[in-house]
Amino acid sequence: MDEAYRNKWLILAAVSLALFMGTVDGTIVNVALPTMVADFNTNFPTIQWVVLAFLLGLSVLMLSVGRLADMLGKKRIFMIGLVIFTIGSALCGLSPTVYVLIGARLIQSIGAAMLLALGVAIVTETWPSEERGKALGFSAGVISLGIVVGPTAGGLIIAALSWHWIFFVNVPLGVLALLAVWRYVPPLRPKSTEERFDFLGAAVFGIGLLALLLGLTVGQTTGFTKPGILALFAGAAIALVGFVLIERRVRYPMVDLNLFRNLQFSLNLTTGALTF
C-alpha cells in the first residue's frame, strides 16, 4: 500500500476521469434528444428511453456491483467497467436505429454502474487516512461537475460535430483511464474469497427497484392511477419487502441490515437520496 500512497494523485486522477465520464453521460444526452428525434424519424416518448435506459440500468445494478467487487476485487471490476463503458459508448455512437441506441445505452449503464459504485471506494483504500477527506471531497466535486457540465458539453459537441460524438468522445478517454488504472492502482484484495454472491437477493432487489422506477417514470405520462402503474408499484413493494426478508436469512447478504440501526448512517443515507 506504500506504493499506492506514492501514486495517490495519479490514482485519484485516473479514477476521477472514470467518475466524470460515468456521471456526465447521465445528462449529456438530454440536449441531443431533439436532434435524435429528427435523425431517427421517431417521437419523443420513444427517444426519452435513451436517457431512461441508462438511468434505470445504473440504479438497478450499483448495489450488486459493489457486493461483487467485495468478493472479486475492486480494481478488477472497475477495469471491467471501463471496458464495458467504453465499448458501450462506441456502440451508442454507431447506432443505426433508436432501438439499437437504447440497447447500447443499457450496455453503457452496466459499465457506468461499476465505475460509480467503486470509484470512491478505490480512492478510500489508496489514500492515507489523514488525507482521505481531501481526496473524497475532490471525488465528490468531480461527480457534481459531471452532472452540471453534461448539458453544456453536449450542446457544444453537437454544434461543432454531431450527436454521435457525445458518445465517441468517451472512447479515447476510456482507454486512457483504463491504462492509468491498470498501471497505477494496486491490486486491492477482496474482502473475502469464500463468501457467495446472493443471486436471489440481487434479482429480487433489481426487480423491485426496476418496477418502482418504471412506475414513477411511465406514470408521469399515463397517470399514476392506471392499473398497470398500480401493478408496478404493488410489485415493487412486494419485491422490496421480500428482499428485506431474504437479507435477514441468507448467510452472506447483499446489505447488512444492521447498519440501519446506526442513526447517523440512516440520516446520511436519507440525505443523499433526497439530494439526488
**What separation in angstroms does the CA of 204 have from each of 64, 69, 70, 210?**
11, 19, 20, 10
Give pTM, 2 decimals: 0.83
Q: What is the model's pLDDT at position 268? A: 58
Helix/strand/coil for 83:
helix
Could you report the average pLDDT of every consecutive run of 10 residues in the chain (276 residues)? 67 88 84 88 85 85 82 88 94 92 93 88 82 81 82 85 90 92 82 72 85 82 83 90 84 72 61 52
Q: Which of 134, 153, 184 is the last residue of a domain?
A: 184
Q: Are 37 and 173 in the same domain?
A: yes
Q: Could you tell me if 260 and 266 are in contact, meaning their C-beta atoms sit under 8 angstroms apart? A: yes
Cα 232 to Cα 28, 53, 217, 228, distances in angstroms: 29, 17, 11, 6
* pLDDT score recorded for residue 84: 95
SS (H, E, C) 163-195: CCHHHHCHHHHHHHHHHHHHHHCCCCCCCCCCC
**Model pLDDT, residue 83:** 95
Same domain? 75 vs 148: yes
Domain boundary (127, 149, 184) is at 184
User: Do residues 132 and 219 share a domain?
Assistant: no
Domain count, the chain: 2
At residue 259, the pLDDT reads 66
Same domain, residue pair 99 and 26: yes
Q: Rounded to whole angstroms, how far apart are CA atoms 125 and 62?
A: 19
* Residue 205 domain boundaries: 199-275
Judgement on whether residues 217 and 165 belong to the same structural domain of the protein: no
Is there a single domain that holds both residue 139 and residue 249? Answer: no
For residues 91 and 70, give the distance between their C-alpha atoms in angstroms, rounded to a whole number: 29
pLDDT recorded at residue 194: 66
> Which of 179, 120, 192, 129 is CA-nearest to residue 1?
129
What distance lies between CA 117 and its chain's CA centroid?
6
Same-domain pairing of 164 and 215 = no
What's CA 200's distance to the chain center, in Å? 21
Domain assignment present for residue 191? The answer is no
Residue 267 lies in a domain: yes
Q: Are residues 30 and 135 in the same domain?
A: yes
Query: Domain check: are 214 and 138 in the same one?
Result: no
Inside any domain, residue 194: no
- How many H helices and E strands in the chain? 13, 0
Residues 6+ apart with CB under 8 A from 115: 18, 19, 21, 22, 78, 81, 82, 85
Whether residues 259 and 165 fall in one domain: no
Same domain, 220 and 170: no
Q: Which residue has the cell 398497470?
A: 228
